[in-house]
Chain A
């Protein structure tokens, strides 16, 4: 009698467990379904306008003549300058914090500050850039202002991932160099950085991908909606791919929605290229370690 009751309850417990576990599997699977739906929807919409002219034309009122050339060059300009600013500063900060900083309250404060900065909404960086770079430094609504704003935005991500990469280098490397009479900077420059570089690159490329897709702060800094020329200097006005996409998507006409989808495909291809690079670097690095 008792045994029977136990078996009944056990069966029910196992059944409930199986049903709920199945729901967890479905939750995980739904992420995959979503991704497939998202990508197919975009390709379905964007295929029509996607041809070579779309890459080489400037935006236009007429959907059939519109292209992403100015947005694409704008994005390349902004990303290039952002890297020039953010990479030395970000890597420098992570070296300082991991290798040179004394273990005191000030260092702790900087660390805490960086993790808080990583959580600040991107649009707030836009407001900072508007007041400091556009107006304060007088750079105007230019590529330079946009890149400096973007650099501040991705700095926390670069610093956090580079710190992890430096942390992973065993102390034996440092002691060996120091024992041979190298200064701390020589140790870092000739031994720590070269070994940490591949892991650092992965984090850096992820941060740069984030910058490529980010648009909210640049709207505040003053990217233009319609640019029919290629920027020549860092002081030129500009637009970037995500903002061009935003402009098209915000229009009511269906043709412009299709253009937005074509723009998204171009953006995704750029991102995919960046991320493949990151994976390639990680792969080569892992093989080297073996």
Chain B
């Protein structure tokens, strides 16, 4: 530890210098990488800031209670009224109908994929689901308007040209692949030991799938439902095309309604002057929409986290 040959020493020093200078030159790269990750934080702050800031002048004129509990939504014509309930009602009517389509079909597909399908069938069904989920939403809107609505009108003659049912059916089709593939993942991660135990006790194949595997994967499956409903709430183009622009407090799916997203589109397509209360409504609706979907996403993350813990212990 006393002295080393002076040649090696200087070589070591030179190497050290080289590495230090290289590290120095990389500083801007590190800064860029950090900034990239930070963009996502900025985006979240941006969204919250924009929505809150532009909503405040609205709430200076309309009280929060009138907004949240009002049953009339008519901001674009006089006399104006700003009760959000009809839009919320329309949105949830769509989401509920979509869930009725996506959940049974999605879960059925998932049980088939994880418990019954051979590898060959799996490799056939999976890409079909991927294609269905990759088709743009405006295409589903077109399909609802020109294919599903005419069929509905034949079955129920009172069906309006724009109706909630047709919109919720296509939104359900859109959400189906998500429910199917997430539930499939959840059921496949159930250890085989549980299945063998069930068979050993004399269960049939379906009893094992439905009474053992399904409950064991339930939290993952429920998380997929919540995500699908959240997706349905935020869906825009299909419901705008298929379900109309009539904010209405109704539970009749054959009538024309308006969702929160469709209202934002309606205002964006018109030429509402900036700064008016009509213009501010899109931010208020945006804020409401953001809040609802955020809550649902947090809920699904919670459910999922619980499910992960169960299998790690």
Residues in chain A within 8 A of chain B (CB atoms)? 13-14, 16-18, 20-21, 23-28, 30-32, 34-35, 37-38, 41-42, 45, 88-93, 95-97, 100-101, 109-110, 112-117, 119-128, 131-132, 135, 152, 155-156, 159, 181, 183, 185-186, 206, 209-210, 212-216, 219-220, 222, 225, 242, 245-246, 249-250, 257, 260-261, 264, 267-268, 271, 275
Contacts and interface: CB of A to CB of B under 8 A. Distances in A.
Contact of B138 (A16, A41, A89, A215): A215
A28 B117 contact: yes
Contacts of A250: 241
Nearest to B209: A21
B46 A128 contact: yes
Q: Is the interface of A mostly helix, strand, loop or mixed?
A: helix
Contacts of B210: 20
B33 A92 contact: yes
Interface in B259-274: 261, 264-265, 268-269, 274
Interface string B119-143: 0000011001101101111110111
A250 B108 CA distance: 34
B132 A35 contact: yes
B207 interface: yes
Interface string B272-305: 0010000000110010011001101110010000
Given A38-B143, A93-B39, A119-B227, A242 B290 contact: no
B206 A17 contact: yes
Given A93-B33, A95-B33, A246-B141, A267 B40 contact: no
Contact of A21 (B34, B116, B234, B301): B116
Contact of A27 (B26, B30, B51, B104): B104
Given A28-B117, A215-B138, A35 B131 contact: yes
Given A35-B131, A242-B136, 7 more contacts: A21-B205, A27-B104, A30-B105, A41-B143, A128-B46, A152-B39, A215-B136
Contacts of A110: 37-38, 40-41
Contacts of A128: 43, 46-47, 50
Nearest to A131: B50
B205 to A, nearest CB: 6
A31 B50 contact: no
A114 B289 contact: no
A213 B137 contact: yes
A106 B142 CA distance: 44
Contact of B236 (A119, A122, A206): A122
Given A17-B207, A32-B125, A264-B139, A257 B268 contact: no
Contacts of B131: 35
10 shortest interchain CB distances as A-B pairs: A121-B234, A213-B136, A27-B108, A17-B206, A92-B36, A216-B236, A96-B33, A93-B36, A119-B297, A93-B37
B290 A120 contact: yes
Interface of B: 15, 19, 22-23, 26, 29-30, 32-41, 43-44, 46-47, 50-51, 54, 104-109, 111-113, 116-117, 124-125, 128-129, 131-132, 134-139, 141-143, 145-147, 173, 176-177, 180, 204-207, 209-210, 227, 230-231, 233-237, 240-241, 261, 264-265, 268-269, 274, 282-283, 286, 289-290, 293-294, 296-298, 301
B16 to A, nearest CB: 11
Given A21-B206, A131-B50, A264-B139, A219 B41 contact: no
Contacts of B43: 117, 128, 152, 155
Contacts of B125: 28, 31-32
Nearest to A46: B142
Nearest to A212: B136
B264 A25 contact: no
B173 A34 contact: yes
A214 B235 CA distance: 11
B142 A264 contact: yes
Given A115-B301, A116-B297, A185-B26, A271 B36 contact: no
A100 B54 contact: no
B225 to A, nearest CB: 14
A127 B283 contact: yes
A226 B294 CA distance: 35
A209 B134 contact: yes
7 contacts: A34-B173, A93-B40, A95-B33, A121-B235, A122-B234, A159-B40, A213-B134
